[in-house]
Structure 1
């Protein structure tokens, strides 16, 4: 066994929920250790691994060196974020783990239903302890009110999710009844957490600060620049896209792109289910288009479902998202989740969600989430022989790839009207606005109200969607800029690549979801 194999084994053992999502066997009956001692132990062990691997022999090949540098970039990120312990600041680490551990195995179905139920019952038994750890670990001095409120919205969905939604995934009546009964103590623990969070006084901040933000860009993402440079890139990209979009809007009879997009967004599906059905049709159209033009090699057995977003996501995610096939398994089926609204949304809030998923926008979104975007890419990773690259990936490549292929499909003629071209550019300018806002928010240069106004006026987001987006940026620093930043870097690498388009796509996407500096090495040598 190599040192990197030992490192991956440690990671999977100490992160059993993540191991389950990746398809590693043997971890599906525990949620892991969420105590203060558990978090501190993991932080210290990451430091030891960083020291150990920093002095390791990388091996003879380029791939071996890339694998080692991937491990080091992950560990640098862990050591840096230990200064900003989310487990003391927000309920998210606890809630996300529970929801993912309960929901995803039934979505992926890697085991027979009786085994899935037994594993879920075992994990349900640990939910009260995990939520008790959440209550114990949250620090009034560090936790931010925004992050606590965000967690409260998630926690309020817990009882219904565990006692109704989860058992509904089980076909066998006897097993369904067993699961529902086992869920009651966990549901009670969620009720207690809701009461706790409703009365919790948080005095901390969600702003990460420029020093740590820039450190993550340089040491985890291997970008070679910090927050200020990234902010400037976002401003410049927004300005260039703004000029180009105004030109396209002129073809539609408008003086500027904003009123043009407002008009286009009136052409939307009438209901949430109609939106899902139209996304399903668009996803299949994109798949045929990619195959007909031989842009990528399709993995055997891949399939992308198009489903409503699970209810526990709806209070915190306002846009489409994707659940990948577990790369450590042989499964190649993923899920494109269509952004349904929470049950308590008003008719007008639902209409605004439909408007931000209008018919002209659907081609770009389906391309991004499915073909040849996230679904194709993450199914393709499953074919890799490099185990560590199936375990560790960065949004700067994964989301960058999703936005890169949006532009690729424009180059290939997929957006064949001024309306769909403008919507494609709107998806890109929205990502430029994300760079500007995320860096400004976490470096203390923009308030939440200013950020919401910026997103609602510099991109074609409704005020409600802009609010949800900004809330997400506050909770997940450095992620929002990953889309356009990654796309631009991938486009630069393609410009230097000497082979054909299909071989470039297979090579760079097949190398994993590497930090962009490593992706360059993998593609170009």
Structure 2
């Protein structure tokens, strides 16, 4: 064997050895990450029945655990992972960073009294479908936790946020009936409850009422003299949330500018369309007319069902999104005990195949009630007009939350089945409102004007969320934006703003998610050229999961 041959063999062997070492390192990182995902999927953060679940000690322990998970995750070399695995890595990291921000920087337990009044679950359980035995067992386990929550609130609330105090006080003063009337109603309807359990539940309820009165006194007299604060989370935290949790390429400043630019563009489109409809009326006058066109009060459920079915027919007949499952959406009256929690209703997506073999979701609508006073009746009807029904049906059902939920339910990866965020899911819902406009679903210009108004509402959410949480907008400024520009009644605007104040970042998901999806669609169309199919785009996107759009983009274009 000559020298050249020996040298050649040496180099070939060396390259093979280097390759094997690299593969082994990649394999080790892949295995470490797969083990991490398995651990992440198996651990539950449910502390519902932990007596100290809201104590600072438990919260800080959760924070420490989150930091440890991030530390372990970041020992894995992301560049050594397969492309698809990188997507999951970034997704888990964004989830953990969100928890870290919530517990380390936002720290709502120090300033929001509502964190300590988790009473809705009690009412939901008492009035819900569980058996009497299940309800009793739940109360025996949960009532001591509720009592301790209130005690912890008195010791841990250290900042006075006037609006939070006002809302907390209202909630506390109106909660006694849960622990008296609703408990007694349970006893009346469940005659099988033992005397021992009745006595224990009554004693616990009585103790909670006493502690609740102490809590009310604290909110009225002690909290207002503590250090005054606001619900703003601040620029630094907000920007960290945008960059590291939502993975958006915006700062608070650029998001603020973009929000206003889009808001004003939508206003211009509304004014142009209004002139086409009736040049003798202003946009707001036309919208008042449109909102006064609604179904017969006793036919609200049927009217919603009709347009749900129509939206499904439109999606299928135009081959917009594949729906390969045996599925359906039923519009039903909302349970009475839930009707006070929001003025419209809620969507309950399918959790599996029902007795008839369908994946059945339910859109639960608050029905019209004849015992209401005239003011309540009038307000109900103008918020359940034909326009809002036609536009909201696609958002909630076809092919919005219902279809997106089915795809997520069938994702082969447990991580992606069980985790998601508003930035994509709510963005997808709003995207479907736009998709129906583009594909001719809305029957006339009045409905199209209403669709633009509902889009304007989601535009406004970007402005007031970033504005209030970074000091650019006061609470009253946000209310004025919703009443003067969007057309909300003041009480409805307050409900909207109050919800955002305690959930920073959530409401930007609607509009910003839609914008990201539209941009992905445009880029995908350019890439595919003559082979582009909108159905193919939607199917591929939904099969990826429910993650920050930048990760969805990475997976889609890989």
Shorter-chain TM-score bucket reads 0.7 to 0.9
Cα distance, 1:89 vs structure 2:
2.5
For residue 90 of structure 1, the aligned residue among 112, 118, 128 is 112
Aligned length: 505
With over 3 angstroms needed to count, the CA separation of the structure-2 counterparts of 1:299 and 1:466, relative to structure 1, is: farther
Partner of 1:365: 392
1:297 to 2:322 alignment: yes
Give, in whole Å, the separation in 2 of the partners of 1:2 and 1:282. 46
Partner of 1:395: 422
Map of 1:46-445 to 2, 5 A cutoff?
Answer: 46-58=66-78, 60-81=81-102, 82-95=104-117, 99=120, 103=124, 117-118=133-134, 121-122=137-138, 124-137=140-153, 139-142=156-159, 144-153=161-170, 184=202, 187-188=205-206, 191-192=209-210, 194-199=212-217, 200=219, 201-202=223-224, 203-254=228-279, 255-269=281-295, 271=297, 274-298=299-323, 300-308=325-333, 317-326=342-351, 332-338=359-365, 347-445=374-472
Give, in whole Å, the separation in 2 of the partners of 1:420 and 1:180. 54
| Contact persistence 1:328–1:390 (CA under 8 A) | no
- Aligned CA RMSD, in angstroms, stands at 3.8
The structure with more radius of gyration: 2
| Contact persistence 1:332–1:382 (CA under 8 A) | no
TM-score for the superposition, normalised by structure 2:
0.79
Cα distance, 1:214 vs structure 2:
1.5
TM-score for the superposition, normalised by structure 1:
0.84
Q: Bigger CA drift: 157-166 or 507-516?
A: 157-166
Partner of 1:22: none
Unpaired stretches in structure 1, ≥5 consecutive residues: 18-28
Residues 472-524 of structure 1 show CA distances to partners (whole Å, capped at 9, x for unaligned) of: 12222112221111100000001112342122212212322201111111222
Give, in whole Å, the separation in 2 of the partners of 1:509 and 1:327. 18
With over 3 angstroms needed to count, the CA separation of the structure-2 counterparts of 1:130 and 1:37, relative to structure 1, is: farther
With over 3 angstroms needed to count, the CA separation of the structure-2 counterparts of 1:9 and 1:144, relative to structure 1, is: farther
Give, in whole Å, the separation in 1 of the partners of 2:312 and 2:184. 33
Cα distance, 1:57 vs structure 2:
4.7
Unpaired stretches in structure 2, ≥5 consecutive residues: 1-33
Cα distance, 1:397 vs structure 2:
0.7
Partner of 2:46: 15
